[in-house]
């Protein structure tokens, strides 16, 4: 058993409507059994073992991506398929609720997220978006 430390001590600040917001940061270490299978936290794709995971993002990063408009399409699609499989006739009606509750999970999340290549790339796109509208005086 080995400990894998994922420090997240970056302080995140952003200019909001009401002034400077300091997004809460938590210093924490996560430890995992390195032989435990890991799945992508966004699309549930198997990533192999903990030590093989290439992309680990802090929950703050995910929160920023979501604020910038990121939607976990794969997760939503899988949920929709699941609802259809359960006999739900109008799964689209529920997707907004599913997305909202997912967002609240992101807000509360304090553990690093393991991501597959695809999800990592899509998250990065949304993180780079920020800054384009931040320099207003
Ligand atoms: Zn993924």
What local confidence, expressed as pLDDT, does residue 6 receive? 45
- For 41-54, the pLDDT digits (tens) are 998 899 998 888 99
Residues with CB under 5 A from ligand 1 (ion): 40, 42-43, 45, 116, 119
Contact 65, 39 (CB under 8 A): no
pLDDT of residue 26: 39
Distance CA 81, CA 75 (A): 10
pLDDT for position 36: 77
Distance 14 CA to ligand 1 centre (A): 27
pLDDT tens-digit readout, 98-132: 898 899 889 988 889 999 999 999 999 999 865 55
Q: Give the residue from 41, 42, 13 showing the smallest Cα distance to 25.
A: 13
Is-above-0.75 flag for pTM? no
pLDDT tens, 52-106? Answer: 899 999 999 999 999 999 999 888 988 899 889 989 898 888 888 889 889 988 9
């Amino acid at each position: 058993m080995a400990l894998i430390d994922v420090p997240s001590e970056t302080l995140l600040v952003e200019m909001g409507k009401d002034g400077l917001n300091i997004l809460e940061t938590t210093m924490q270490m996560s430890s995992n059994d390195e032989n435990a299978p890991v799945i992508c936290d966004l699309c549930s794709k198997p990533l192999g073992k903990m030590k093989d995971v290439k992309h680990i993002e802090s929950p703050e990063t995910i929160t920023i991506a979501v604020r910038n408009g990121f939607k976990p399409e794969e997760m939503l699609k899988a949920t929709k398929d699941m609802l259809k499989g359960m006999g739900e006739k109008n799964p689209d009606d529920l997707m907004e609720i599913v997305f909202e509750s997912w967002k609240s999970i992101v807000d509360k999340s304090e553990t690093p997220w393991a991501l597959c290549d695809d999800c990592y790339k899509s998250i990065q796109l949304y993180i780079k978006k920020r800054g384009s509208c931040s320099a207003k005086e």
